[in-house]
Amino acid sequence: MSSQLIRIVRGVYDNHEAVENTHFGSIAVVNGEGEIVFSNGDLQAAVHLRSTAKPFQLLPFVERNLHRQCGLSDAEVALLMSSHSGEREQVEVIKHILTKLNVKQSELLCGIHAPTSSEARLELALKGEKPSVLHNNCSGKHCAMIATARASGFSTDDYLDVNHPLQKEIVSRILAISRTTDCEIGFGVDGCSAPTFIMPLIAIARLYCALGTDELRYLYHVGVSNPLMIAGKKRLDTILMELGGGSVFAKTGADGVYAMSVKPSVKHPKGLGIVIKVDDGDASNRVRQFVASTLLQRLGVIEQGKLSSLADQSVKNHRGIVVGRMIADF
C-alpha cells in the first residue's frame, strides 16, 4: 500500500487550518549495496518508468561508442536522454545531432506536441510557425534509437516495436542493472510511442543508484555537466543539478514519477538511488518538487539553504499572501 506523502492545509478565518488536499505515494532510497536507506509506502509497487528510463535506453548507443564515432559533444549526448522543453537552443542542438547521426527528421516516430516551455510556445506563435517532432521532449531519444538500429544492421522503420532487437537489448540491460527478473517487468506504450517499462519501485531505485557507479558514470557526468540540456530553464531537474554541483543527477518521469542518483561521497560512500511515485500523477509537479527537495535536505545531499525556495512549505495566493502550507508526512 502507498502511504501519505504530504498534506496541503489552508487557513480558515478562525485562525485554524483545514486540510485541503492529501497526496499519497511511495518513496524508495537504496545505496550501492542494495540496502534500503529510507522507504515510505510500497517498495514493490508496480511503477511505469516513463521518461526516467531514458538514460538506460541510451546505453546501446554509448556502448557502441557511437557518440564518439559521430563526433557528439557531451551536451549533445545529454540531450539524447533528455525530456527537453523545446527551447530554441535545444531544438538547434537536435538539428545538429540529426546531421551528425545522418538521421532524417521524417524518421522520428515520436509524434508532435507543443514545447513545454511557455517562452518557446510564444516564440513559435509570434513567428506563425507550428511545432514539429523536434519540439517533442523525447526527440533526442528517438534520434539515438534510429542511429543505433542502423549501425547495428537492424531495421529502422519498426524501431519502436517491443520485439525489435534494439528494444530487447534495452530491456536486457535494464534487467541486469536493476537486478530484476523477467517476471518482474512489464511493458506499456509511452507518450512518444516507445516502449515503457513497468517495474517494482525498489528496482527503479537500484537503476538510479547504478548511474553513479563506474559502469554508468559517463551518462551521470554528461547529465550533471549539462543540466539545461536534460530539462530546461526553470525545470526542476535542471535546478536540482545546478544546485547540487555534480552531486545529484535528477530525471523527471510523467505522471508522478521522479528519480535521482546521488554520487558516492563521504556521507554516502556507496551512493544513493532515489525514486518517488505520487499516486495521483501530480499534474502540477509541486508534490514531486517538495518531496524531492525535502529528501535531498534530509539526506544531506544539498545544503538546506540552497533548497529553501524549492522546499518552501508556504502556499501563496495570486497576491503573494501566504494562505496555507504543505506538510511532509513521510
φ/ψ of residue 45, rounded to 5: -60, 135
**Interstrand relation of 46-48 and 17-31 (parallel, antiparallel or unpaired):** unpaired
Q: Give the three-state DSSP class for 191.
A: coil
Cell numbers found for residue 211: 548511474
Beta carbons within 8 Å of 4's beta carbon, 6+ residues apart: 22, 23, 24, 329, 330
Phi-psi region of 282 (alpha: psi -120 to 50; beta: other; left: phi over 0): left
pLDDT, residue 210, reads 96
Domain ranges of the chain: 3-328
Let me know: does 313 contact 326? Beta carbons within 8 Å.
yes
Residues of the chain short of pLDDT 50, as ranges, are: none
How confident is the model at residue 16, as a pLDDT? Answer: 86
- The secondary structure of residue 25, as a DSSP letter, is E
pLDDT of residue 122: 97
Residues 6+ apart with CB under 8 A from 30: 36, 37, 202, 205, 206, 209, 272, 273
* Cell numbers found for residue 68: 564518439
Residue 99 has a pLDDT of 98
**Residue-wise pLDDT tens digits, 243-283:** 999 999 999 999 999 999 999 999 999 999 999 999 999 99
Mean pLDDT of the chain: 96
> Does the structural domain 3-328 have CATH classification 1.10.357?
no
Burial of 43 (0-12, 13-18, 19+ CB in 10 A): middle
Which pLDDT does position 211 carry in this prediction? 94
Helix (H, G, I), strand (E, B) or coil at 151: helix
Q: Taking the chain, what is the end-to-end CA distance rounded to the nearest angstrom?
A: 14
CA 164/CA 170 separation, integer angstroms: 10
What does the alpha-carbon distance between residue 45 and residue 323 come to, in Å, rounded to a whole number?
34
**Confidence (pLDDT) at 149:** 98
Q: How far apart are CA 90 and CA 81, in angstroms?
A: 12
Contact 143, 55 (CB under 8 A): no
| Segment 47-82, tens digit of pLDDT | 999 999 999 999 999 999 999 999 999 999 999 999
CA-based torsion, 72, 76, 77, 81: positive or negative: negative
Distance CA 157, CA 173 (A): 23
